[in-house]
Amino acid sequence: MIHRYQGVVVELVSRAVVPAIQVFALYIITHGHYSPGGGFQGGALLAASILLLRFTQGRKESYRRFPPGAGFALAALGLLIFLLVGLASVARGGSFLDYAYLPWPWASPETLRYYGILVVEAGIALTVWGTLVVVFDQVGTRTRDV
């Protein structure tokens, strides 16, 4: 399924578009509480950009950029970030994901909430990104020889 795309048109346009997609995805992630979106949508867009590269650059190129195992690592890292932030506030006597209780005493609750949400959204995005790419890779390699 994943072979080098001989068409120069799609390949070059994808190369031009992918950085823009990723910047847009990061915007969606970091501005989650001002505009629609957030971690999940941003992660899905990041995964879409990787899929575009998978399809237009061929297996070898694309696996060098984003190895098949990286998806698992990203998903695990995202989950770890989410749990750490959540449990950090529990450890200081708040409830799960209560940003005001984060162990960063010199910051105001306002600032804490902003950075807490940002980090949690980033964790969610990493998880979604990694999971979607892993799902695609599994499906892609299963059906390749059919």
Partner 1 sequence: MRDVVGLALIFGGLFFVLVSALGLVRFPDFYTRSHALGKSDTLGTILVLGGLAVYGGLTLSSLKLLLILIFVGLGNPTATHALTRAALRSRHEIWSRREGGKKE
Partner 2 sequence: MTALLLGVALVIALLTVVPVFRIVAGPTIYDRVLGVGLMGTNAILLLVLVGYIYDRIDMFVDLAVAYAILNFVGVVVVAKYLERRGET
Partner 3 sequence: MRHRNWVSLGVQTALLFAFWLVLSGRYEPRFLIVGALSVALVLLLNRDIFVLHTVPESGGGHWAVLALGWRWLLYVAWLLYDIAVANIQVASLVLHPRMPIDPVLLRFSVSWRRGATQVLLANSITLTPGTVTVDLRDGEYTVHTLAPRLAQPLVSGEVQKRVASVLGEEAGHAPAVTWIGSVGALEQ
Name which position in 1, 5, 22, 92 contacts partner 3 (CB under 8 A).
22
Per CB under 8 A, the segment of 17-25, 90-98, 101-109, 128-136 that binds partner 3 is: 17-25
Distance of alpha carbon 69 from alpha carbon 24, whole angstroms: 25
Residue type, 24: F
SS (H, E, C) 15-54: HHHHHHHHHHHHHHHHCCCCCCCCHHHHHHHHHHHHHHHH
Per CB under 8 A, the segment of 6-14, 73-81, 91-99, 133-141 that binds partner 3 is: 6-14
Question: DSSP labels for 78-124?
Answer: HHHHHHHHHHHHHHTTS-TT-GGGSS-TTS-HHHHHHHHHHHHHHHH
Per CB under 8 A, the segment of 2-10, 39-47, 105-113, 137-145 that binds partner 1 is: 2-10
Name which position in 3, 10, 33, 80 contacts partner 1 (CB under 8 A).
10
Distance of alpha carbon 8 from alpha carbon 13, whole angstroms: 8
Per-residue binding letters, 38-57, with partner 2 (x by CB under 8 A): ---x---x--xx-xx--xx-
Applying CB under 8 A, does 34 fall inside the site for partner 1? no
Q: Residue 26 binds which entry of partner 1, partner 2, partner 3, none, with Cβ cut-offs from 5 to 8 Å by kind?
A: partner 3
Distances (CA, A) of 8 to 19, 23, 94, 114: 18, 24, 55, 44
Applying CB under 8 A, does 114 fall inside the site for partner 2? no
Applying CB under 8 A, does 91 fall inside the site for partner 2? no
Name which position in 1, 4, 15, 16 contacts partner 1 (CB under 8 A).
16
